[in-house]
Structure 1
């Protein structure tokens, strides 16, 4: 079935977003339920297995695609508002996402009512990026915002060559804003803030998405838009292959020859997410643009399924994290662990002992269960939000 141009534009964004959010749940289920999640690196070329490598690697597509689509969605929403209204909404929504990260997602991560560690992860990156986008919208055109975003994406890996004293203020600031691969800032008495996602590299992706949103203006010829998205996506993948092969710029960790072609391929594909390197961005967003082009005119059972989740991303994100952690708590306590063992202060997350877990087969079954259980709540909430015009729903 072929959709009208307007509905196809909206549905393609929601469809691709829903697809990546379903995949995202696999990584979070793996974190909580896989036996080696806290004791081994699934992307280590010399030690991993093909099944484990690609289970983790496929989820790399989620965060950058979500950032890009959030930028596109912000541009589309701005077509119904004035510039000042758009900027104000983005700033307020960005601040709300930061609050939600600190209050709701930190607890979802840790299940620690004392909030001993504050986790600043994907909602932190999304919120700060949205806040900065809101400021940019006040002062710059969409074309200029696109240029700024691309400059950040393509140039921030220059800082891989900049060395500052470890623990200095410059080191801390660079780690939070540009170069950090996960930084814990102690606050005393055992408390800490964990900056798991840096700010500006993710902001560059969102700004680029906002600028790319111009291709969805009503005056844009639909076949030309699809060709452009497809061409850009393929170009990004080709550019990734060239830059990765040259092994000179674009990622702080060069690929190396391993024992056997398979492990060499793992090394070649193992680009840096923390922070998202240029090569990581090219590799993950190239397919995202191809998917946007190919799904724009599609409506079938598969696209409708993913669209259910893509229409309510915040609602789904919150629910799936709490559901996964609650299921982990039940599984751990029913497996013979005592309450004291399950809530030990040394644990990264409460109710997730380091030696707990199952094989990948069980992880996949739990992932399918989580996604299936959340289908009807997400469908209900999407329908409710579509028929109810309340201001607070725009923040969910």
Structure 2
């Protein structure tokens, strides 16, 4: 059974998983800043048929694919857990809804303002998708877990059908479609994370959070639920890639190597991508819950836990660290990418610990939005 940290009202397995994601994300973004041969071809818009990839470069990029789906899924899980805990404390639904709306708006505006200003054009990335999804979760959670799960499955399964009818990769994309389903890499604006597929992932995470907090008797243990769900998702991935039709979002098999099988669409997320990454996430999550249930020694200052408990702050701060390091370090290959990633994590660890202490000491301050 998952253990709740009495002092912080947090679940260690969730923070561990989020911390692992932060470390992998730092690797990907360090590669973006410093790796001269970085691969970025996770979409039909970015890939030329027949392109060959160096296996080490491809796998360095691929292992970070789990980051965004896991982060968004856990955001949904955290919303469900937090809302239930706050209701038990006597906080009204209107206050809870207002806080969620404000936090979602704040996170979305970080992309619209901070990152767009730094990029010199409007750019909507994962923070836009998370923020908008949080705001939409306010009315959606009123529908109940079963309806939310059905709607999430409908969005994920039907997105490709909609895009096939409305989207020509490389052609003109209306703004409403760019904001909701289809990515755009333009000169005036870029949308990497159209909101609705990622909203569906957050909805799944919210449903899981409701299940995690449920006190109904006779339910499957969480480890079994996650393991069965994860293995089922991986089977679905294998089926989709084997059939090589619907579910790949135009990123069809170019061969029968491991690289070809794992080269799937993230922009926008295909069913194959979501099944693979959420499947792997669920299995890792189950193992972490088992580790927590075994009452393993939990260091409250362990780097993975600290990074997981300060995830949004880590996300913002690591860009500042990378920008500073780029002033003094040169581009290089994978070896340099990995050791610079380690340097980034070493720099961020004490900063994140200080931030965590401040946030816990002043729980009603503006720091709560991070």
TM interval, short-chain normalised: 0.7 to 0.9
SS at match of 1:202: helix
Matched, 1:265 2:277: no
Residue 295 of structure 1 corresponds to 288
**Is 2:53 the counterpart of 1:54?**
no
User: Does the CA contact (< 8 Å) of 1:146 and 1:209 recur in 2?
Assistant: no
Deviations 1:234-293 (A, max 9, x none): 1111111111111121111343343xx5xx321111110001111111110111111221
Q: Report 1:89-168 matches (<5 A).
A: 89-107=99-117, 109-110=118-119, 116-137=120-141, 139-163=142-166
Give the distance between the partners of 2:197 and 2:214, measured in 1 at CA: 30
Q: Which runs of 5+ in 2 are unaligned?
A: none
Which of 168, 179, 197 aligns to 1:201? It is 197
1:72 aligns with 2:77: yes
Q: 2-side partners of 1:255 and 1:194: how far apart? A: 24
Q: Secondary structure at the match of 1:279?
A: helix
Q: Which residue of 1 aligns with 2:311?
A: 313
Shift of the alpha carbon at 1:118? Answer: 2.2
Aligned to 1:83: 93
Judging changes above 3 Å, is the alpha-carbon distance between structure 1 residues 48 and 278 closer, same or farther for their aligned structure 2 residues?
same
1:342 alignment partner in structure 2: none
**1:323 Cα offset (Å):** 0.8
Contact 1:9 1:216 in 2 (8 A): no
**Bigger mean CA offset, 119-128 vs 3-12:** 3-12
TM-score by length of 1: 0.81
How many residues get paired? 350
C-alpha distance in structure 2 between counterparts of 1:150 and 1:216, whole Å: 19
**Alignment root-mean-square deviation, CA:** 2.6
Change (3 A) 1:390 1:56: same
State the partner residue of 1:337: none
CA contact 2:30–2:322 (8 Å) conserved in 1: yes
Question: TM-score if structure 2 supplies the norm length?
Answer: 0.86
Partner-residue secondary structure (3-state), 1:194: strand
Shift of 1:4: 6.3
Preserved contact between residue 35 and residue 334 of structure 2 (Cα < 8 Å): yes
The 1:244–1:86 alpha-carbon spacing in structure 2 relative to 1, beyond 3 Å, is farther
Match of 1:280 in 2: 273
